[in-house]
Amino acid sequence: MHKFFSNRRLVIVIICLIVSFGLMSVSVAIRNKRSTPPMVQQFGNDVVGLVNRVVAWPVSGLKGSVTGFSDLMNTYQENQRLKSQVQELAQTKVHDQAISQENKKLKQELKLNHSLTDYTPVNANVIARTPSAWQNQVIIDKGSAAGIKKNMPVLSGSGIVGRISEVNRTNSKVELLSNSSESANRFAVTITNKNGQSVHGIISGYNRDKNLIEMGNVTSKTKIEKGDKVSTSGLGGVMPSGLFVGTVASTGTDNYGLAAKISIKPATDLSELNVVTVAVRQAQTTN
C-alpha cells in the first residue's frame, strides 16, 4: 500500500510549515514595529492597487446606478427630515465660526502655532475590503505620497472609524474599530459629562454581537450617563484631539466588579464606508 506520508513528502510538509510560521511572525513583527512595510511589499501593493482601481470602476458604476434608484425613492422623506435640521445647523455654524476666529486670535496671543485639535483632512476612496472575517480592514487610494502615516485616525461621516495600519506609496490599509485583533483599536478617548467633567481612558475592545465599542478599566468616580459624548483625547501618538467617537450606550462594572466598563455606540455605521477622511495632525508628534 502506498504510504500517504512518505519520507520526502513529510519533509516538504514540515519545511512548508516552518516557512509559513516564519513568514507570519516576521510580517507581524514588521507590522507592529516599523512604520512602513519593506520596499518589495510596498511596490507590489502599489502595482496591485493600480489595477484594482481599473477593475473597480465598472463595479462601482453598477452599484452607483442601483443605489441612485433607491436613493430617489426616499428623497422626499429625507428632504423633510433635513429641512428641520438645516435651520439649527446654520446657527451652529455661525457660532462655530465666531468661536474658531476667537480661538485663532487667542492662540496668536499665546504664540501657539498648532494645538492638538488642529488637523488637515485628506480625503480618500475605499477601493477594496479584505475578504476575511479576522481582519476588518479596508484599502484606501491614498498613501504616503499624500502625507499619510501609520496609526493616523480615519474618519467617515460624523465620527472615527479606524486607523491606518499599513502605508504604501499610493494606497494604504485601514483597520476598522470592529477589528477583533488584540491591539487594533486602542484609542485614547475622553468622555465629557453634562457638568463638563471629563474621564480619560482607552478603548479596550469591540462587542461584535451588540456593535458597541467597549472602554474598560475606568476607575474614576465621575458620573457618566447614557448619551454623554465620547471623543479622542489627543494623548499619545499621532491622534488629534476632539474627534467624535460616539455616545455612551450603557455603563456597568467589569467581570470582577472593580472597575467600570463603559459601552459606546459608534458615531458612524462601520459597515458602510465609501469615502473616508484621514486626519493628519498638525501639532508636532513624537513619531
Residues that bind other proteins (CB under 8 A): 16, 19-28, 31, 37, 41, 44-45, 48-49, 51-52, 55-56, 59-60, 63, 126-139, 165-166, 173, 178, 180-183, 208-209, 211, 270-274
The distance of closest approach from Cβ of residue 51 to other proteins in the complex, given in angstroms and rounded to an integer, is 7
Nearer to other proteins, 139 or 238 (CB): 139
Grid cell, residue 14, equals 514540515
Closest CB to other proteins among residues 10, 98: 10
Query: In angstroms, what CA-CA distances link 193 with 21, 85, 217, 228?
Result: 47, 24, 18, 5
Cβ closer to other proteins: 240 or 266? Answer: 266
- Nearest alpha-carbon partner for 140 in 122, 157, 158, 118: 122
Q: Which three cell numbers stand for residue 208?
A: 461584535
Nearer residue to other proteins within complex by CB, 174 or 224:
174
Minimum Å gap between C-beta 167 and other proteins is: 11
Q: Which is nearer to other proteins, 104 or 208 (CB)?
A: 208
Q: 126 vs 171, 179, 180, 184, 277, CA distance in Å?
A: 10, 17, 20, 19, 10
Q: Is-contact 183 59, C-beta < 8 A?
A: no
Identify which of residues 136 and 190 has a Cβ nearer to other proteins in the complex: 136
**Per-residue b or e along 190-211, where b marks 16 or more CB atoms closer than 10 Å to that residue's CB:** bbebeeeeebebbbbbbeeeee
Closest to other proteins by CB, 165 or 233:
165
Distances in Å between the alpha carbon of 229 and those of 175, 248, 286? 23, 6, 27
CA dihedral 142, 147, 152, 156 (to 10 degrees): -50
From CA 15, how far away is CA 71, in angstroms rounded?
55
